[in-house]
Amino acid sequence: MAELTTEITLEAPVERIWQLLTDFGLYPEWNPLFIKATGPINPGERFDLVVKLPGMDPFPIKPVLQEAEPKLRLCWKSSMISSVVLSWTFCYELQSLSPERLRITQRSSFQGLLAPLFTFAMKKPVTDGMNSLNDALKRWGEKGNVSCMKC
């Protein structure tokens, strides 16, 4: 298994960031990596996700939500062809540091026969995309009231 990881510390309450990450309807407004998401946020269920890696055209995937532990962890897994060939697991992990401060860790891990090749070829765009998502979380999450984005 090959894993790519990024981290950022935000001056925002964990509740605000959790709302931002789990309100799929807001993704087109702020999320540069996952530009569209629709469907349920229920573990074990599929949803639709459009991924936009830097330097590449957007592409759709249909991941299965693996975990949605409120204010702690949100993970999904997508298989390309079959999980034996290649699968991608993506997680947000939230760690509250104080009432107005948290650390967010993003993890992208690739499994399957093509994982080493895929990780080698896609390391830069995936890491750059995760870093742009961190920048967006900082910009929107520290901004204030997330619901104002719907105004």
Could you state, in order of their start, the residue ranges of all structural domains in the chain?
A: 2-122+129-138
According to DSSP, the residues that pair with 34 across neighbouring strands are: 51
Q: What is the pLDDT of residue 82?
A: 78
Structure pTM?
0.90
pLDDT tens by residue, 13-58:
999 999 999 999 999 999 999 999 999 999 999 999 999 999 999 9
| Burial degree of 76 (CB within 10 A; 0-12, 13-18, 19+) | buried
Q: Are 113 and 2 in contact (CB under 8 A)?
A: no
**Of the CATH numbers 3.20.20.80, 3.60.21.10, 3.40.50.10470, 3.30.530.20, which one belongs to the domain with range 2-122+129-138?**
3.30.530.20
- Rounded CA gap, 58 and 53, in Å? 7
| 80 vs 127 pLDDT, higher one | 127
pLDDT tens by residue, 76-118:
999 987 788 999 999 999 999 999 999 999 999 999 999 999 8
Q: Quick check: 151 pLDDT over 60?
A: no
